[in-house]
Amino acid sequence: MALYSEKVMDHFRHPRNVGVLEDANGIGEVGNPVCGDIMKIYLKIENDVIEDVKFETFGCGSAIASSSMATELIKGKPLAEALTLTNKAVTEALDGLPAHKLHCSVLAEEAIKKAVQNYYDNNGIEYDRSQFPAEEDCAHCHLK
């Protein structure tokens, strides 16, 4: 069996929603200290809905495919729904990732959460901090 699914290869070769969103009102950037890869998510949020999303990922193919799939999964969705997106859901939508590449999909989940948090902070919106990963306790720090 091929190491990577057709979907992973497709999103890696033809990533959706790549680039910078000039009028973003929520931006989240995360890095994996182990591999050094960086992912940045831009959100344009209106009336609690993700109207548009773009990403820039400096990283491996799995991180690029995960970012691409994650943006597709949250585009046009209410914020509350986007916040429930897990790396597991991203991985499943990609028809799986090799075990040693699962941490790449964690970056996508965390970057989206950070971008939503940034939007809340910028707009003085109260939120439950326990919904968001603490800086010093990111899941990817435990995944080598």
Minimum CB separation from ligand FES for residue 51, in Å? 27
Minimum CB separation from ligand FES for residue 6, in Å? 19
Residue 43: exposure state from Cβ atoms within 10 A (0-12, 13-18, ≥19) = buried
| Active-site hit among 60, 104, 138, 141 | 104
> Distance (Å, rounded) from C-alpha 88 to C-alpha 137?
18
| Active-site hit among 35, 60, 138, 141 | 35
Q: Is 138 an annotated catalytic residue? A: no
Pick 26 or 31: Cβ nearer ligand FES: 31
Pick 8 or 45: Cβ nearer ligand FES: 8
Hey, is 126 helix, strand or coil?
Answer: coil
Q: Got the DSSP string for 76-97?
A: T-BHHHHTT--HHHHHHHTT--
Pick 32 or 117: Cβ nearer ligand FES: 32
Minimum CB separation from ligand FES for residue 121, in Å? 25
| Residue for token pair 């429930």 | 84
Pick 21 or 102: Cβ nearer ligand FES: 102
Q: Which residues contact 36 (CB under 8 A, 6 or more apart)?
A: none
Q: Is 141 an annotated catalytic residue? A: no
Minimum CB separation from ligand FES for residue 69, in Å? 14
Q: Which residues contact 29 (CB under 8 A, 6 or more apart)?
A: 38, 39, 40, 41, 111, 114
44: phi then psi, degrees, rounded to nearest 5: -110, 110
- Please give the residue ranges that form the binding site for ligand FES (CB under 6 A): 32, 35, 37, 59-60, 62-63, 101, 104, 107
Residues known to be catalytic: 35, 104
